[in-house]
């Protein structure tokens, strides 16, 4: 077996191997796959072709049997003062699994990231993909955070009566008051070796920058002139490309109720509003942490269902095997 850096001519084979992901948010949910017969691994294609990515392949006598894609997150690294590397993709031909190839590829991928100066390497996988978890743990990775994906598939006609006159678009000025309440399933927020102040500053900056984009919708619930909650959703171009559809798929990034003592009914009203306000769409999803129990309760009461559970793992540079 030969381990080498991939060449451009290898890309079709790497894409072919990307169809073999048994566990991913795009493959494990049968309802998602049923939305379109033209499934394509867009995320893998994007990461493989990304200029800053490094693709390493394992090659046997009959061709490429596995690969790993890694890269550095330069913007985040600069913001938090730690160089962050990521493992984006790992795939091995099924007939060659359980032979140590995945572990060897991870070792080589980490080596590349360390030559780029990585302080920390992160990776995400399915919570129940035990073989993958064992591969990462055998290479010095440790569990950092669990997370869930909840999805809503519209089945009933839209009800305009559920579009509230207390909910409307928010201004840029109005967004600032929600910054202290941002709580996203970001594994670095669970890592004590990361400056939480700098990380939250970066998350807040990206939130403000992205919220006013053309594919973004940010709505606020106001009662008697007082801000009580907001919801932020985006057109999910990645999912739409994966499904090869033009009908929107939405991703909810934030659902915030201002007063922690307030009943989450406001959250349910915001969810009910967007379900009926946004016109025709195929699906909505939101990523959450298991500890966000009140948010999960609101999602479930609003017809969202748990569709995927993931695990983020971290490996700091000195945590070698």
Give the pLDDT confidence of 150-171 residue by residue, as tens digits: 999 998 788 877 799 999 999 8
- What pTM was computed for the model? 0.92
For residue 171, the model assigns a pLDDT of 87
Alpha helices in the chain (DSSP H): 11-18, 30-34, 42-49, 74-80, 101-115, 130-138, 172-175, 196-211, 237-243, 265-277, 293-301
- Say how far apart CA 89 and CA 68 lie, in whole Å: 5
Query: Does 12 score more than 70 pLDDT?
Result: yes
What CA–CA distance (Å, rounded) separates 211 from 226? 21
Q: Write down the pLDDT at residue 225.
A: 87
pLDDT band at 28 (very low <50, low <70, confident <90, very high): confident
Mean per-residue pLDDT of the chain? 93
Residue 319 predicted with pLDDT over 70: no
> Each residue of 245-288: pLDDT tens digit?
999 999 999 999 987 656 678 999 999 999 999 989 999 999 99
Mean pLDDT of 188-194: 95
Percentage of the chain exceeding pLDDT 70: 98
pLDDT at position 155 is 86
One fold for both 2-146+312-316 and 151-311? yes
Residue 73 buriedness (CB in 10 A; 0-12 / 13-18 / 19+): middle
Q: With 80 as the cut, is the pLDDT of residue 299 above it?
A: yes
Single out the residue of 98, 174, 146, 167 nearest to residue 288, CA to CA.
146
Q: What distance in Å separates the CA atoms of residue 21 and residue 255, rounded to the nearest whole number?
A: 30
Distance of CA 111 to the CA centre of its chain: 24
Pick the CATH number of 2-146+312-316 from 3.40.630.30, 3.40.190.10, 3.50.50.60, 1.20.810.10: 3.40.630.30
> Where do the domains of the chain lie?
2-146+312-316, 151-311
Considering only residues 30 and 199, tell me which one the structure prediction assigns the higher pLDDT. 199
Contact 72, 53 (CB under 8 A): no
pLDDT exceeds cutoff 70 at 320: no
Output the CATH code of domain 151-311.
3.40.630.30
Confidence at residue 238, expressed as pLDDT on a 0 to 100 scale: 94
Q: Residue 321 pLDDT > 50, yes or no?
A: no
Fill in the DSSP letter of residue 189: G
- Give residue 20's pLDDT: 81
């Amino acid at each position: 077996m030969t381990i080498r850096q991939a060449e451009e001519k290898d890309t079709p084979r790497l894409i072919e191997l990307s169809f073999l992901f048994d566990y991913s948010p795009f493959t494990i949910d049968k309802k998602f796959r049923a939305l379109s017969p033209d499934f394509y691994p867009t995320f893998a294609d994007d990461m493989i072709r990304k200029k800053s990515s490094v693709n390493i392949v394992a090659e046997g006598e009959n061709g490429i049997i596995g690969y790993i894609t890694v890269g550095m997150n330069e913007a985040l690294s600069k913001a938090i003062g730690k160089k962050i590397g990521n493992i984006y993709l790992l795939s091995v031909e099924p007939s060659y699994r359980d032979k140590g190839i995945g572990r060897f590829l991870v070792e080589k991928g980490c080596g590349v990231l360390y030559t780029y100066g990585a302080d920390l390497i992160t990776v995400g996988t399915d919570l129940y993909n035990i073989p993958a978890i064992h591969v990462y743990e055998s290479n010095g990775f440790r569990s950092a955070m669990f997370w869930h994906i909840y999805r809503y598939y519209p089945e009933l006609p839209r009800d305009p009566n559920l579009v509230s006159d207390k909910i409307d678009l928010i201004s840029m000025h109005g967004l600032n008051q929600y910054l202290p309440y941002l709580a996203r399933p970001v594994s670095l927020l669970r890592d004590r070796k990361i400056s939480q102040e700098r990380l939250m500053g970066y998350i807040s900056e990206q939130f403000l920058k992205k919220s006013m984009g053309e594919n973004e919708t940010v709505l606020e619930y106001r009662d008697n002139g007082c801000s009580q909650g907001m919801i932020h959703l985006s057109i999910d171009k990645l999912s739409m490309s994966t499904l090869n559809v033009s009908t929107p798929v939405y991703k909810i990034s934030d659902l915030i109720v201002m007063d922690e003592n307030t009943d989450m009914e406001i959250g349910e009203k915001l969810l009910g509003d967007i379900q009926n306000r946004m016109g025709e769409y195929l699906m909505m999803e939101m990523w959450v942490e298991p500890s966000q129990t009140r948010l999960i309760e609101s999602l479930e009461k609003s017809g969202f269902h748990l569709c995927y559970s993931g695990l983020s793992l971290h490996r700091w540079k000195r945590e070698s095997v």
